[in-house]
Amino acid sequence: MLSRKSLMTWGVACLVTFSGLAESRVRSDVKLSDDACLKSRPGESAPTIVKLREGQPVQVLERRGRWLRITTDGKVGWITRTQVASRPVSLARPASSPRKRDGWNAPRRDTVVSGMSRLAPKSGDEWQKGMNATVRSPAAIRQRPSTKSAELYEVSRGEKLKIVLLDEEGGKWARVQDETGARGWVETSALSPLEDTLPVVPTGRHENPGSDARHGSKVHAGDEENAARFTYGAVAGLGVLARTQSLASNGTGIRANYGLSYSNPAVMVSGNLGTKLGRVELGMQVAFLKAAGGPGIRVEGQNDSAGNLDVQGSELCASTMVGTWVGGKIISIRVGYRRQFTTIERSQVALLPSETTSGIIFGSSLHAPRLGKRLGARLGVDAMLSGSLEQSAGMRDGAASSLRMFSLGAEGTYRLGRSLAAFMSYGLDYEKARFSGASDRETTALGGTRTAFRHVMGAGMSVQF
């Protein structure tokens, strides 16, 4: 019969053995499925320790929600579960936090591969309405659940989708909603489950009674990815600026009544910063345009001509916007400040003034990020109702002036990747200035009205982070 001391020794040895086995199961080797940033703590906003490359082997130490604590090359930190090819079986949820059997926290089955477990649903039983998913291979979003149905657009690997409806034939197809609110059907074989929450954006269309009501606003407590995140982007392009204008007054002579036109090559750059709060979009943009190097101005009026005069133009515009998602599109309003500069070569024949226009602008826009497989479009209107016009001293068309400007802009985009797109744009400005008092250039003119049209056409690339 064993003594008390022998029993205690045997018990300690068993505990040590089982602890070693448990630790060996927790410390599992996996590889990264994509490039990743090793974070100092769970959360996208946490500081980055080091950047990891796709395929790099890591060792999983701990799981906390959708985050994994890993070690690699002597460094320890956190990455998300979706960034590894598989996850350890032993890293299950703790008993104190069981999975709820409703909607967002519905149970899922795991498949074990070489001692590892990964989510790999292959049937409709494993997908449920309200679940989140990530695209694991490029896939087509279609109008109906059929490969013969029209293709609406394409999603790239890594994009997040929300399942809002399943087909009635085994769950081979799912009706999904992306982060822009656009919806369509996709084959579930192209998706992998994702535990973080992508709220459903109401579109006003009828899906299924009660299908989204319970899941549309629920979030996981403590999940930092559901907090507001900032995005930023840059745009660069080349184009052409063309302008025509005419002045009509009660004076006589070419300097009192004239018309002119010119066109220049142009360079366009802009930067933007934005964030999304539920269905609301907030953003800021700064844009700059420079036009120079064209054939110049040729004055048209009576029998006199100034020849070709060199002209350069530039523009700076800063604005803020607020918008809301409606049926997969963003309707927004904006307010900003716009300032234009025009520099004209001095000529004693034409005596045309250089000038600066500026003022507060108000506008609205309609943005459809996805009109088709890769296409998007934007349409906007702006108004400057009380602007200022400053002309070169000694060359003014009147002692005082007032300015109004109305603008129309259109843009089409073609998505080349998850964050890269090509664009073509067109902008039209209509400007009307009124002058009072005597003209510096023609004393017989005591008042006049100038109208101008400006066209800006461009094409380039945009990137969003």
User: Do residue 334 and residue 421 come from a single domain?
Assistant: yes
Phi, psi of 222 (to 5 degrees): 85, 0
Same domain as 433, residue 311: yes
- Domain presence at residue 85: yes
Q: Check residue 125 and give its pLDDT.
A: 44
pTM above 0.75, yes or no: no
Each residue of 146-186: pLDDT tens digit?
A: 888 887 777 777 788 888 888 766 578 888 887 767 788 89
- In terms of domains, do 45 and 153 share one? no
Q: What is the CATH number of the domain that holds 348?
A: 2.40.128.90
| 83 and 126 both lie in a single domain | no
Domain identity same for 74 and 135: no
The angle formed by the CA atoms of residues 229, 360 and 345, to the nearest 5 degrees, is 115
Last residue of a domain, one of 75, 92, 109: 92
Within this chain, do residues 243 and 296 fall inside the same structural domain, yes or no? yes
Establish if 131 belongs to a structural domain: yes
Which residue among 92, 108, 134 closes a domain?
Answer: 92
Q: State how many domains the chain has.
A: 3
Say which range, 230-239, 246-255, 373-382, 444-453, has the weakest mean pLDDT: 246-255
**pLDDT tens across 87-101, in order?**
443 444 443 333 333
**Cα gap 90→342, rounded to integer Å:** 69
How many CB atoms lie under 10 A from the CB of residue 331?
14
In a domain, 98, yes or no: no
- Looking at 116-125, 274-283, 312-321, which range is the least confident one? 116-125
- Classify residue 362: in a domain, yes or no: yes
Annotate 377-441 with DSSP letters as a single string. EEEEEEEEEEEEEEE-TT--SSSEEEEEEEEEEEEEEEE-SSSEEEEEEEEEEEEEEEEES--SS
**For the chain, counts of helices (H) and of strands (E):** 1, 28
Same domain (yes/no): 171, 242: no
Same domain assignment for residues 254 and 336: yes
Instruction: Give a yes or no: residue 375 inside a domain.
Output: yes
Domain of 66? 15-92
Residue 215 resides in a domain: no
On the CB side of 343, CA atoms within 13 Å amount to: 8
Decide which of 201, 218, 249 is a domain's last residue.
201
pLDDT of 298-353, one tens digit each? 655 444 444 677 889 999 999 999 999 887 788 999 999 999 999 988 766 667 88
pLDDT of residue 195: 52
Query: Mean of the per-residue pLDDT values for the chain?
Result: 76
Residue position matching structure tokens 């989204």: 212
20's enclosing H/E stretch is: helix 4-26
Same structural domain, 337 and 196: no
Percent of all residues in the chain with a pLDDT value above 90, rounded to a whole number: 27
As a whole number, mean pLDDT of residues 43-49 equals 81
Q: Please write the tens of the pLDDT for every residue from 50-64.
A: 989 888 888 888 877
pLDDT tens digit sequence for 255-278: 778 788 889 999 999 999 998 887
Mean pLDDT of 9-38: 58
Using CA atoms, how far apart are residues 287 and 272, in angstroms rounded to an integer? Answer: 9
- Same domain membership, residue 355 and residue 444: yes
Q: Looking at the structure, do residues 148 and 276 belong to the same domain, yes or no?
A: no
Q: For position 3, what pLDDT does the model report?
A: 58
From 1-10, 41-50, 242-251, 387-396, the region with the lowest mean pLDDT: 1-10
Least confident among 5-9, 128-132, 233-237, 373-377? 5-9
* Strand arrangement, sheet containing 173-178: 151-155, 139-142, 183-187, 173-178, 160-166, 132-135, 191-194
What CATH number is given to the structural domain containing 154?
2.30.30.40
What string of H, E and C letters represents the secondary structure of 140-183?
Answer: EEECCCCCCCCEEEEECCCCEEEEEEECCCCCCEEEEEECCCCE
Together in a domain, 321 and 193:
no
Residue 60 lies in a domain: yes
**Residue at 21 is within a domain:** yes
**Per-residue pLDDT for 218 more than 50?**
no
